[in-house]
Amino acid sequence: MRITLLVKTDLWKLTLLSSSVRVFFFLLLIFAFSKAVKAEGNVKGMLQQGNEVTVPLVVKSTFHMHLQGNTFEDTCTIVPFHSETLSTCNYNSSSPLVIIIHGWTINGKMEEWMFRMASALKARLGHMNVLISDWRPLALQPYQNAAKNSRHVGSDVARLVSWLEETTQLSMDKVHLIGYSLGAHVAGFAGSHFTGERKLGRITGLDPAGPQFEGVPASDRLSPDDAKFVDTIHTFSKSSIGFTLGIRQLVGHVDFYPNGGSFQPGCQMTDMYNNLYQFGLEGLPKTVKCTHQRAVHLFTDSILNMDQQMTAYRCRDDGAFDKGLCLDCKKNRCNILGYNVRRVFKRGNNKGLYLKTGSQTPFKVYHYQIKVLLKNLTASVQVSVSISLIGTKGQSEYLPVTLSQEHAENKTYSALAAVGLDMGDLQAVRLHWEGEAAWTSWWRRVSSIMSGGSRRHDTELSMWRIRLKSGESQEKIWFCGKTGDTTHFKPSQEQEFIRCKDISKKMINVTKPQDQESGKA
């Protein structure tokens, strides 16, 4: 028995030693192979990172050339390092390259938006190689794992681009990566493999994912360093419920925040109950996805409706934008959201671009800054009114706006109005004042008594001329009351202001010192 045990123990040790030797020789073989590859100067399937050459891991993503149609079956698979697949899929070596990259998935399905975007690119922009990156096996996992996998997927995309550069003499300036959610960071990781003159031409991030990427170093997320030009659209980066899917911080050369980057029009959380009733448990992600995925639809809309481009304006935050303080286009303070964005930016500028949109395509709205001088207010208050614009092409519906005091030292109030129709040349403005909230009325009554004012001010609003500025045309227009220099409002009363016939220099200079459209603070 004792001899038998000794033999078995020795066999176990021998087996363990043999296993260690096999591992050692296996590692030695890998090391020798990598040395041989470097010595031969074979760059096929490798990535250049500065002066270092690294051997790639296995490509776990697949790439599909969009030809026509809106289904996955209508695509043609391009296999990296298999040149025959380029001719099979009619890859045009002289055309630019666009790669669309999806994000995290909870059902493993290829979403329709990718094919709609690909079709829009092909139909509206002519000759172009549009590829769809499919990394569903690595994305159909718990979010934390999928987020970690995004770096590997970025390497897959970079390997494909490097191979196309070598095989088809693809210029990096002609490469445009479009990534949604986690796919935006995938695009960033792909771009980080190319430096100097070999930097990719453009990366577009569509509501880049926030969880696990907010506040991390630039090397661990999408950043301006990843391409010659990086533009991003943030649609779910801010929420009153404290839960978001998109990243809030600036991560591009230009960052757009439609509707403040919060819940988008038509995507209210009140729709959740209807979606839960109609789709069951899948109704919750549908509700959340509506706002998160709006960035995708805004970008596609910018391709399909090139005659209705959406203008965004640089501002310190969405609060200042909602006050109408940021409709200035001087010194590149405004830009076009979407495919036709102007590639102009200032390094070190920490301000985003803000705009309003509609609830469905075409999403474009027209922005107007409203400025008025309220004469009889004894305290800084917010005045809620409804406004309707009348132009040569029609009349807008009444829009609720809140007139806010720009600065404590003056009585100029401003607001932002967004109209879904092109009004043509504005001819008149109608205002309806509902009256004050109870606490506001009480405070004004107390202030009036303390200042020795009359009680008339408690129930009346005195307004001087109205000035409107169009964000899209940058035109400023004055409107005068029909009853003289000052128009008096009472609760539930409506007044009309018509386009002033004579604009004197004195009138123009009234609001000039307080003209803070750039939102500087």
Mark the binding-site residues, compressed into ranges: 221, 226
Concatenated DSSP letters of 155-223: HHHHHHHHHHHHHH---GGGEEEEEETHHHHHHHHHHTT--GGG--SEEEEES-B-TTTTT--GGGS--
DSSP letter for 319, please: H
Q: Which of 292, 297, 367, 457 is catalytic?
A: 292
Q: What are the C-alpha distances in Å from 35 to residues 24, 31, 32, 382, 500? A: 17, 6, 5, 72, 81
Q: Which residues are annotated as a binding site for Ca(2+)?
A: 221, 226
Which residue type occupies 479?
Answer: F
**3-state SS class at 6:** helix
Query: Using alpha carbons only, how large is the chain's radius of gyration in Å?
Result: 30
Q: What are the C-alpha distances in Å from 346 to residues 201, 252, 330? A: 18, 11, 13
Query: Long-range contacts of range 404-407, CB-CB < 8 Å, 24 or more positions apart?
Result: 404/323, 405/380, 405/381, 406/323, 406/325, 406/514, 406/516, 407/514, 407/516
At 250, phi and psi to the nearest 5? Answer: -70, 125
| Rounded Cα distance, 443 and 445, in Å | 5
Q: Which of 207, 255, 301, 322 is catalytic?
A: 207
Q: Which of 61, 133, 150, 181 is catalytic?
A: 181
Residue 425 known to be catalytic = no
| Rounded Cα distance, 59 and 216, in Å | 26
Residue 207 known to be catalytic = yes
Give yes or no for a contact between 434 and 491, defined as CB atoms under 8 angstroms apart. yes
Residue 193 known to be catalytic = no
Q: How many CB atoms lie within 10 A of CB 88?
A: 14
Concatenated DSSP letters of 394-450: EEPPPEEEEEEES-TTS-EEEEEEEESS---SEEEEEEEE----HHHHHHHHHHHHH
Q: How many CB atoms lie within 10 A of CB 442?
A: 12
| Rounded Cα distance, 174 and 202, in Å | 8
DSSP letter for 224, please: G
| Rounded Cα distance, 293 and 286, in Å | 10
Catalytic residues: 181, 207, 292
